[in-house]
Amino acid sequence: MLVSPMIQSVPHSKSAMENQPSNRRKAMKEELVEGRDAANQLLEILVCKSNTHHEGVEGLVLPFAEDLIRKVLRSFTNTLLLLNTHNDGSDEEVMYTTIKNVSSSVKCTNPEDKNESCKGFFNAKRRRGCHKRNAPTWEKDSSILMEDGYVWRKYGQKMTMNAKYLRSYYRCTHKYNEGCPAIKHVQRIQEDPPLYRTTYYGHHNCKTSLSSEIMLESAFSSDSSMFLSFSDTFPIKDHSFSSMKEEPMEVIPEDYGVHNQLPSSDNYLLLCDYGHDYNYSRHDTKPSSSESVQFDEVYGSSLDFYG
DNA sequence: TCCATTTGACCCCT
DNA sequence: AGGGGTCAAATGGA
């Protein structure tokens, strides 16, 4: 949603951004990251409230507020994406590639067309293990695993050679229905304090991310039945909008050996999105991405992170 | 029954 | 040959 205006604002010659001192750009990034962190915290609060208020005005308003925060998160993500792919001279090309990809990706919204128009990054019939990949469009280290406003689905995890921790692989939920090529890797790179490296590849072209706007319009339309209907069809567990679904937990065995992949073990160390570690038995009710982690624990831990 | 996650296996690249 | 990325069957939760 934010992408198009930003694309238009980037000149083809030397951009205004490029002329700014690097420390100023760095400050801009920090501001954006701070805003995104704040939005994440606010979202946590709203998710908690959504879970406890299923009736009355709050039950109707909270989903709207929650959805608005997701839009804010997406805006931060997209802005950071564009900003981070413009770090130095060598990235200029990446920047324009980014813009071209986003622009052309509009064509991919028709699932019928994706075989032809979305070949650039992922072939529709991609062969297993074919992993030739462009340079990352954005790499970010963070002390917490936070939302970026998009819905991700985990498709694999693996121990890598020089890493102490598992790397998790996520693709956009709309990869197959809308041909969205966006993927990301999340790798824990440091134990204490916890540090995660999220690497984004490709860009979202899924129009579903805009569906919130449609829903909001529907909700606020003069048709009150729509409004009520919206409320009913907007549960927190709806995968399309569930914040917790967006970044499933990274499951890391407490005692992983030399195996390349996650061994079967009864003891797992689960890292939730909020950078807090929980121990669960594999045979217990596993905390799904959208539940089981008590908010007060989560929120408490979040507060810890933000001092 | 559907959908997300797990995980062993496959395959490309270096 | 080995590492890294992805696939897809198995599994489990809702």
Q: What is the pLDDT of residues A11-39, one digit of tens each?
A: 333 344 444 556 777 777 777 777 777 77
Q: Which residues neighbour strand B (beta carbon < 7 Å)?
A: A 127-132, 153-158, 173, 239, 245, 248-249, 251, 259, 261-264, 288-289
A205: Cα separation from own chain's centroid: 14
Nearest residue by alpha-carbon distance to C1' of C3:
A161
Nearest residue by alpha-carbon distance to C1' of B14:
A132
Q: What is the pLDDT of residues A140-169, one digit of tens each?
A: 676 666 667 788 889 999 888 878 888 999
CA–C1' gap, A90 and B2, in angstroms: 46
In the prediction, which pLDDT does A144 show?
A: 61
Nearest residue by alpha-carbon distance to C1' of C13:
A288
Contact A21, A251 (CB under 8 A): no
Contact A162, A98 (CB under 8 A): no
Whether residue A59 is predicted with pLDDT greater than 70 in this model: the reply is no
A286 CB inside 7 Å of strand C: yes
Q: What is the pLDDT of residues A170-179, one digit of tens each?
A: 988 888 777 7
pTM score of the predicted model: 0.52
A184 CB inside 7 Å of strand C: no
Q: Which residues of A13-41 are buried (b: 16+ CB within 10 A; e: fewer)?
A: eeeebbeeeeeebeeebeebeebbbebbb
